Structure 1
């Protein structure tokens, strides 16, 4: 089963947009709000090598942020990742 993890902050418009795309595809995802769980920020940075949100993972594959997620959707590679 595919596991999707989104590191986010509740006030971030890019996070909202990324989550809306996943929801529109009926994809369940685990959200880790680093605003509410600041101790998870270092975990996010270690996994992604980035310090901005959102950071999106499909299984262990780092998709990237909102722009990369939208690009993957436009290119058709997002559906391939989600079906692995």
Structure 2
């Protein structure tokens, strides 16, 4: 099974573009939730993200990864690729 990757974004956010670029370089498919001006969606994101309201917020298999810097730190520490491996059923 492919990993379930979700990312909450704003269309004009440079950090969102940077996080998506990393996922794109890795060939990862993800669900993007663009929440521009949608406070209800932002509240839902914050609930999932332990109160964090900044974007992007990234989830892999329902695990909260954090934002752009968190995603890049995982990659720099060779901890991102294992999270993106297909799960055996």
Bigger radius of gyration among the two: 2
Structure 1: runs of 5+ lacking an equivalent: none
Once superposed, what is the RMSD of the aligned Cα atoms?
Answer: 1.2
Q: TM-score, with normalisation over the residues of structure 1?
A: 0.94
- The answer to which structure has the higher helix fraction is 1
Residues of 2 paired with 1:60 and 1:5: CA distance? 8
TM-score, reference length from structure 2: 0.89
Alignment: residue pair count: 84
Q: Quick one: distance in 1 between partners of 2:76 and 2:19?
A: 13
Runs of 4+ aligned residues of structure 1 deviating over 3 Å after TM superposition are none
